[in-house]
Chain A
Amino acid sequence: MTAREEILGRIRSALSTVDKAEIVVSRDYQQAIEGDLVGLFAERVADYRAAVVRTTADTVPEAIAEQLAHFGIGSVVTPADLPADWVPQAVTDAPPLDVPALDAADGVVTACAVGIAETGTIVLDAGPGQSRRALTLVPDFHLCVVRTDQIVGTVPEAIARLDGTRPLTWISGPSATSDIELNRVEGVHGPRTLVVLIVG
């Protein structure tokens, strides 16, 4: 007998006395929240010690340039389909950059798919302006542009908007560890600096 057959067989006999009617999951927890979602999002992202900056649609390039200068970021990589005027000097990820090239870059600038106000989370789904996962992982600085219409209130609202079969990265603040006497230290292996630029 294969391991598969044997395990499935063990499960079936373990459940022989169990009522197999599907249990209905009660979903009377909070589904959505109202109010100033953008304000809440900004506050919760900042709570994680990420930098939060707000700007308008026509001043995105200037706002990005200002942040790059502020953090001393010289070499920048971007997804190939990021609006070209956002970071004119960037090296684009087309053809895909190899790992040493990503490692040599100071920072990365991307868009995102969804922002979650309640938890201060940005979600990347490899969609427009985001490229593949390695791009936002290897460089030590990540600036992420979030449009206000991408911000939802809650995790259930985000889950409803996202496609589970795409590779997703949920980011809440910069990389952090609390493994040494529970002291929070920012930046272990992921980007040590996260800047969230809210547009709109």
Chain B
Amino acid sequence: MTGTWLGMPPFPVAAREALGNEQLRTNLRKATGTIRGKRAAVVDERADWEALRVAGKEIKDRTLHNLDTYLEQLERKVTESGGVVHWARDAAEANRIVIDLVRAAEADEVVKVKSMATQEIELNEALAEAGIAAYETDLAELIVQLGHDRPSHILVPAIHRNRSEIRDIFLREMPGVTAALTDDPAELAAAARAHLRRKFLTAKVAVSGANFAVADSGTLVVVESEGNGRMCLTLPEVLISVVGIEKLVPTWQDLEVMLQLLPRSSTGERMNPYTSTWTGVTPGDGPQEFHLILLDNGRTGALADDIGRQALRCIRCSACLNVCPVYERTGGHAYGSVYPGPIGAILTPQLRGVTADEVSPTLPFASTLCGACYEVCPVLIDIPQALVHLRAKAVDAKRGKPSAERTAMRVAQWVFGSSRRLRLAQRLVSIGGRVLGRRGRIGRLPGPFKGWSGARDTATPPRQTFRTWWESR
């Protein structure tokens, strides 16, 4: 497996391969099940969870609807506080800015705190090409990096690896590690600590992302657990943060919502061990040079789509991955993107463009539309609605003319838009399913449905929908 996403097979091919990997499925099932349980427990603790979700959605919608204003406000505040703001249209431009800044600091290595944005732009590869070594410092990212692998989960990128695989990677790749190392998680973590300690204490430049950027105060926020984030944000002389333009919240007060939604939804904790905030530079405390790179890289394209736009509300908690039956069986690599799972299925095709490559148009089909992702999303992103919308777009783009499949997606979109229509449609499907199903499964369908049904066995629709059963009780 190579370190980049380029040339990945489309989802149906990758998924079929992943389904054959027993180890992967066992690791995943165990991990997602555990996080699901923890999340449910801390969410149940909050009687006001729904009110928090609504506030979270409104904060992000307010941001997106006035994004230009808030970005200019953030830029002004960061600049006033001694930071430097850069704008990057795409990955190449962002990477070039980082490389120039590292060179200006006369450094040939950087420490990195886990960042989806820098993975998205494949910064590590660009730095390597420029002769700059990048050290991932998050334990899971380190495992991925040393394993010459790709992350497979937003929150726990090495979720697909078990302890003995991790021990093998450390033995092979980590200088100074001997065969005495066992696969005890505490010992493995201690080995990582020792490996990175000197880097932290001597690195001149750090690169980070940010979970949030506050427009009215100019504050950047990083949420983490291990302290590697604090190390990167505090000890180096120069800090470079690459942040997607959608990461804003309008006001300092808005953090009170986000800092309650994010840890509970992602790690299932009331609060993560460490949250760091900083505003520009503080004399005598932390990096004395701060650069903020505001990254577009396809986000404005998503912003222009009335239905797709909601994907930009995402706070990358990964709750939707952990409840997704498709993700649980295929794992993150099958999505061919740094954003896997349900959110990846709607975000990736929008960032890249639905027809940009082989993978993107297949991603909106990587779902059963069961709706579990919508149920858990802390910012109420209607992922099923966006999936159906993007399926229609993908089909449109391929055919360029009306087709049965496109019409089906249009109908689905219309059906999902109203609960009355959904009820009616479910009754019709249940009748149709009885005619179609053989041995309780719908295999490959003929004609225009081939692409849709080729990668999955569709369960025959039940005779009774949940709704009719509920109503008849």
Contact check: which of B163, B259, B274, B278 meets A181 at CB < 8 Å? Answer: B163
Which residues on A sit within 8 Å (CB–CB) of B272? Answer: 172
Contact check: which of B192, B227, B254 meets A190 at CB < 8 Å? Answer: B227
Answer yes or no: B8 CB below 8 A from chain A CBs: no
> Please, how many angstroms separate the alpha-carbon atoms of A27 and B164 in the complex?
47
CB pair B303 A188 closer than 8 Å: no
> Please, how many angstroms separate the alpha-carbon atoms of A148 and B301 in the complex?
50
CB pair B185 A181 closer than 8 Å: yes
Answer yes or no: A183 CB below 8 A from chain B CBs: yes
Chain B window 144-166, contacts with chain A (Cβ cutoff 8 Å), 1 for yes, 0 for no = 00000000000010100011001
CB pair B253 A165 closer than 8 Å: no
Stretch at the interface among A13-21, A67-75, A82-90: A13-21
Given the interface contacts A132-B286, A182-B156, does A173 sit within 8 Å of B273 by beta carbon? Answer: yes
CB pair A177 B139 closer than 8 Å: yes
Contact check: which of A28, A103, A164, A188 meets B219 at CB < 8 Å? Answer: A164
CB pair B254 A14 closer than 8 Å: no
Chain A window 87-122, contacts with chain B (Cβ cutoff 8 Å), 1 for yes, 0 for no = 000000000100110010000000000001011110
Instruction: Please give the distance in Å from B83's CB to the nearest CB on chain A.
Output: 12
Answer yes or no: B23 CB below 8 A from chain A CBs: no
Q: Which of A1-54 contact B (CB under 8 A)?
A: 2-4, 6-8, 10-15, 17-20, 22-30, 44, 48
Answer yes or no: A174 CB below 8 A from chain B CBs: yes
Contact check: which of B61, B81, B163, B230 meets A137 at CB < 8 Å? Answer: B230
Answer yes or no: B423 CB below 8 A from chain A CBs: no
Contact check: which of A23, A132, A160 meets B62 at CB < 8 Å? Answer: A23
Q: Which of B52-96 contact A (CB under 8 A)?
A: 52, 54-55, 58-59, 61-62, 65-68, 71-72, 81, 86-89, 93
Number of B positions contacting A (CB below 8 A): 93
Contact check: which of B27, B189, B279 meets A187 at CB < 8 Å? Answer: B189
Q: Which of B110-156 contact A (CB under 8 A)?
A: 137-140, 143, 156
Q: Which of B23-69 contact A (CB under 8 A)?
A: 27, 30-31, 34-35, 46-48, 51-52, 54-55, 58-59, 61-62, 65-68
Answer yes or no: A178 CB below 8 A from chain B CBs: yes
CB pair A22 B273 closer than 8 Å: no
Which residues on A sit within 8 Å (CB–CB) of B89? Answer: 3, 6-7
Answer yes or no: B104 CB below 8 A from chain A CBs: no
CB pair B54 A26 closer than 8 Å: yes
Answer yes or no: B327 CB below 8 A from chain A CBs: no
CB pair A133 B285 closer than 8 Å: yes
CB pair B156 A188 closer than 8 Å: no
CB pair A48 B273 closer than 8 Å: yes
Contact check: which of A26, A28, A160, A189 meets B231 at CB < 8 Å? Answer: A189
CB pair B55 A26 closer than 8 Å: yes
Answer yes or no: B410 CB below 8 A from chain A CBs: no
CB pair A25 B231 closer than 8 Å: no
CB pair A22 B58 closer than 8 Å: no
Centre residue among A22, A120, A181 by max chain B CB count within 10 A: A181
CB pair B277 A179 closer than 8 Å: no
Answer yes or no: B275 CB below 8 A from chain A CBs: yes
CB pair B65 A167 closer than 8 Å: no
Which residues on B sit within 8 Å (CB–CB) of A170? Answer: 259, 271, 274-276
Which residues on B sit within 8 Å (CB–CB) of A189? Answer: 137, 193, 196-197, 200, 226-228, 230-231
CB pair B259 A155 closer than 8 Å: yes
Answer yes or no: A168 CB below 8 A from chain B CBs: yes
> Please, how many angstroms separate the alpha-carbon atoms of A158 and B163 in the complex?
39
Given the interface contacts A119-B270, A177-B139, does A18 sit within 8 Å of B65 by beta carbon? Answer: yes
Which residues on A sit within 8 Å (CB–CB) of B278? Answer: 167-168
Instruction: Please give the distance in Å from B295's CB to the nearest CB on chain A.
Output: 9
Contact check: which of A3, A6, A180 meets B166 at CB < 8 Å? Answer: A180
CB pair B55 A25 closer than 8 Å: yes
Given the interface contacts A25-B254, A156-B256, A180-B139, does A164 sit within 8 Å of B277 by beta carbon? Answer: yes
Answer yes or no: B201 CB below 8 A from chain A CBs: yes
> Please, how many angstroms separate the alpha-carbon atoms of A175 and B51 in the complex?
31
> Please, how many angstroms separate the alpha-carbon atoms of A3 and B30 in the complex?
45
> Please, how many angstroms separate the alpha-carbon atoms of A185 and B184 in the complex?
10
Centre residue among B35, B46, B197, B231 by max chain A CB count within 10 A: B231
List 7 A-B pairs, minimum CB-CB distance, nearest first: A190-B227, A14-B304, A132-B285, A10-B300, A170-B275, A119-B271, A164-B217
Given contact pairs A29-B260, A167-B285, A189-B197, a sample of 5 additional A-B residue pairs in the complex whose CB atoms are under 8 Å apart: A15-B67, A20-B65, A180-B163, A188-B226, A188-B228
